[in-house]
Every structure is written in structure tokens, then in C-alpha cells.
Amino acid sequence: MLQDPATRARNADRHSHIGVRLQYHANGKWEHLEALGWNEVGFNFYHAQDIAAPLLALKRGLTHFDGNIVWRALNTSDEVVLATLVNELIFKRAQAVVNDAALHARLVKLIRVPGMVPEKRKILASLGQDAGDANMADMIRQRRLERPMFHYGVKVQSDAWTAIIHQALSLSSVVISLEKWSQALAKP
């Protein structure tokens, strides 16, 4: 069964157990960023400043490549942070039900629908996720402490990027093994 590209990109395993330090070129100088939620399709990152240009000149060490900003979220209000958190929780649930292809596809598509936070919270509750007001308020408070204002998603089509993440996976294979081992122990 063929998947549309957006669903395929969201289904690919994402890694955040280690950040990949990169630099991007802006205003005539190189600035640092940490790639999170990365895979062969791309990554996301947080930054304190608005980046207007969709094309990013990136580098790691002496290796240069380009990426395209395909989405951005402005974290200026609790509503925006709440919507982001709800979508992240839905994504985690989608990853947990990957064996149920129909439910998995519906959840992945739901992430792409803007707004609908109350409805999405009801869906999370029906899937056993605590999406109550007190829990969400705590999560919003924590997120505001941890992350700057702007969140970006970057798509990368580059052999250089592929080599960088394969090296990161190779170097972090022990962490991945421990993660899988602890997840296996946590399942009833």
C-alpha cells in the first residue's frame, strides 16, 4: 500500500535521544541549532528568533547541505503551546498503535489538521491519555520553561545529512538499545 509523502515522513522513526548539533547561515553569520526529532527526512528545532527564509544553508563541521523549512509554529500563547503538546501526544499514540494501520493513519492525519484542540483532547482521553486541564496546564508550564519561542520543521534531501544521521545512530546505538530494553520491560 502506497502512503502519501506527509504520512510517510511522519511514520519514519524520529530520534531525540541525542541532539545533532548543526549550524545555519543567517544574516551573514553561522548560528547554532540542535536538531531534534530527526530522521532521514529531516528534523525539527527550536530557536529564539523568527527565521523568515524557507531555504536554510546548514553545516556540521566542514560538511555543508541545504534544508527547507516546511512548517513553523510560534509559541506566543498557551493555546499555541497546548495545540503543539496535544499533537505531540497524538503522535506518541500513533507510534504506539503502528500495528493498527487504519487507526495509525487516522491519528497521523489528525495531527496535520490545525486547531480542533478540544476534539483532539477527547480522542486522546478515549485512547487512555490523561488530557485533563490540570495535566495540560502543568505540561504547558514545563514547555515554556524548556523551550524558546519558535519551533521549526526542516526537510532535508541530502546525502550529507543521511551520512550525519547514520553516524549519530551508530554512535548512539547503546542509548537506543537501552531505550528499547526499558520499553519492553514497561509493557504489561
Residue 6 has pLDDT above 60, yes or no: no
| Crossing angle of the two packed helices 78-96 and 133-146, in degrees rounded to 10 | 100
Q: Above 90 in pLDDT, residue 70?
A: yes
Distances (CA, A) of 134 to 5, 117, 125, 138, 142: 36, 15, 14, 6, 12
Q: Domain total for the chain?
A: 2
Inform me whether the pLDDT recorded for 5 exceeds 60.
Answer: no
50 and 90, same structural domain? no
- State whether 137 and 182 are in the same domain: no
**Residue 161, number of CB atoms within 10 A of its CB:** 26
Give yes or no: residues 88 and 180 share one domain: no
Q: Are residues 158 and 141 part of one domain?
A: no
Q: Are residues 126 and 160 in the same domain?
A: no
pLDDT tens by residue, 76-123 = 678 878 888 898 899 888 888 888 889 988 998 888 787 889 999 999
Both 128 and 173 in one domain: the answer is: no
Residues 85 and 136 occupy one common structural domain: yes
Structural domain range at position 101: 78-146
Q: What is the pLDDT of residue 170?
A: 82
Summarize pLDDT for 32-57 with one digit per residue, the tens.
Answer: 898 988 999 999 988 878 888 899 99
* Region 160-171 average pLDDT: 89
- List the alpha helices (DSSP H) in the chain: 5-11, 78-96, 101-111, 117-126, 133-146, 159-171, 173-186
Query: Which CATH number covers residue 64?
Result: 2.40.10
**Shared-domain flag, residues 91 and 126:** yes
What pLDDT sits at residue 9?
52
Residues 65 and 101 in one domain: no
Instruction: Examine the domain organization and report whether 89 and 131 are in the same domain.
Output: yes
pTM flag (> 0.75): no
Give the model's pLDDT for residue 58: 97
144-153 pLDDT, tens per residue? 777 667 889 9
For residues 16-25, give the mean pLDDT: 84
Banded pLDDT at 163 (limits 50, 70, 90): very high
Residues 163 and 179 in one domain: yes
Instruction: Say yes or no: 136 and 160 in one domain.
Output: no
